[in-house]
Amino acid sequence: MLHLSDIWFIAIAVLWAGYFVLEGFDFGVGILLPVLGRNNAERRAMINTIGPVWDGNEVWLLTAGGATFAAFPGWYAAMFSAFYLPLLLVLVCLIFRGVAFEYRAKRDSDRWRAGWDAAIFGGSLLPAILWGVAFGNVLHGIPLNAAHNYTGNFFSLLNPYSLLGGVTTLSLFTLNGALFLALKTTDDLRRRANALAWKIGLVAIVAGAAFLAWTGASYRSPGHVATGVASVLFAVVAAGTLIGGVLASRLGREGWAFTAVAVAIVTATGSLFTALFPDVLRSSTSPAFTLTVGNASSTAKTLALMTVVACIFLPFVLLYQGWTYWVFRKRVTVPGGTAGSPAVPPAVSPGGTGTGSSDSVSLIGPDPAEPETAGR
């Protein structure tokens, strides 16, 4: 029988899966900014593909952290203590990245824009690696004592398994970003994004397969057959959809490719969480010191109240975010990229784009007067 603590463990897994998919392509676009953006117009177009949605995507991280704090305070305290420096680096990167989106177009200066472009690149690259390292350590185990206090240091987190996790998330997020750009741009930029997605996809397949195989072989919870089988099934689906997504990108089927890779990220996250359950943070010092769903959760009354609140407000949040993606569903065109592309009045936000539409919006107007993230 599932208890409320089990349900909230599943809910937190879903929140992290949503964050990795949505913020994953944000990070991917930022990482590819100096790779695909050959000039300022192309880099502006790339930033505008995520302009209306990047900050909404970060809400999934805040919700996952808040849900962990409320539902599993013991897990939250031990994890944030152990990962204090990596999480601080992630926070600093997200701050600089967010400021860069807002300030990049405030001055007509190549040097000014280059500095903020570097902030977007670095602020996307480092978190894409660190999230994989962090979750690798959650499964691998960290030095915890009987009081569930962390007894290691930063270098204790840099083991081969967690580093492979960092390579996996980096390659998956970069692939997701390339496919998102292929969906959201036109002409040469779209073609180059598709071509690059194929190459990144090969790296993602190798890294992802190695990481999931290592997880299944070494880090499944002993004595829990059902979750072990579920973890393997999730891993098989993740591998299949990832390979299918890469092949679809090779054939130019951008929508199918992006959807398949998104499913691969979700199911890979599901594989990790089911391999972890019923533990939430393993101790490499002694299995007796491991935090579990049972000993790290809040009281039943707290979990019940959280469940009621989530059932009331979560549908509204999902509807609003879905509506946002629908409103900004059109493609972004680089100025001069497509002959006869329909121009829009300067009052229309350059961020007015989105997936799944063959229509496009041209970016016009002087760069300093038109913030890339306007209209959110």
Q: Is the pLDDT at 351 greater than 70, yes or no?
A: no
Cβ–Cβ < 8 Å for 329, 31:
no
Q: Which two tokens stand for residue 106?
A: 């405030």
- pLDDT band of 44, cuts 50, 70, 90: very high
CA–CA dist 143, 108 (Å, integer): 51
Half-sphere exposure in the Cβ direction for 175 (13 Å, CA): 35
pLDDT score recorded for residue 336: 64
Give residues with Cβ within 8 angstroms of 320, minimum separation 6.
none
Cα dihedral sign for 17, 315, 66, 227?
A: negative
- pLDDT band of 355, cuts 50, 70, 90: very low
pLDDT score recorded for residue 224: 75
150 phi/psi in degrees, rounded to 5: -75, 130
Amino acid identity of residue 297, one-letter, is S
pLDDT score recorded for residue 266: 97
pLDDT digits (tens, 9 = 90+) for 132-179: 999 999 999 999 999 999 998 888 899 999 999 999 999 999 999 999
Q: Is the pLDDT at 131 greater than 70, yes or no?
A: yes
Q: Which two tokens stand for residue 164?
A: 């492979």
pLDDT digits (tens, 9 = 90+) for 264-306: 999 999 999 999 999 999 999 999 999 999 999 999 999 999 9
Per residue, what are the HEC states of the chain? CCCHHHHHHHHHHHHHHHHHHHHHHHHHHHHHHHHHCCCHHHHHHHHHHHCCCHHHHHHHHHHHHHHHHHHCHHHHHHHHHHCHHHHHHHHHHHHHHHHHHHHHHHCCCHHHHHHHHHHHHHHHHHHHHHHHHHHHHHHHCECECCCCCECCCHHHHCCHHHHHHHHHHHHHHHHHHHHHHHHHECHHHHHHHHHHHHHHHHHHHHHHHHHHHHHHHHCCCCCCHHHHHHHHHHHHHHHHHHHHHHHHHHCCCHHHHHHHHHHHHHHHHHHHHHHHCCEEECECCCHHHCEECCCCCCCHHHHHHHHHHHHHHHHHHHHHHHHHHHHCCCEEECCCCCCCCCCCCCCCCCCCCCCCCCCEEECCCCHHHCCCCCCC
pLDDT digits (tens, 9 = 90+) for 57-102: 999 999 999 999 999 999 999 998 999 999 999 999 999 999 999 9
The Cβ of residue 65 has, within 10 Å, a number of other Cβ atoms equal to 18
Cβ–Cβ < 8 Å for 239, 168:
no
Q: Which two tokens stand for residue 18?
A: 């949503």
pLDDT score recorded for residue 228: 84
Better-predicted residue by pLDDT, 358 or 40 = 40
Instruction: Give me the chain's average pLDDT, please.
Output: 86
The Cβ of residue 364 has, within 10 Å, a number of other Cβ atoms equal to 14
CA–CA dist 75, 312 (Å, integer): 25
What's the whole-model pTM score? 0.87
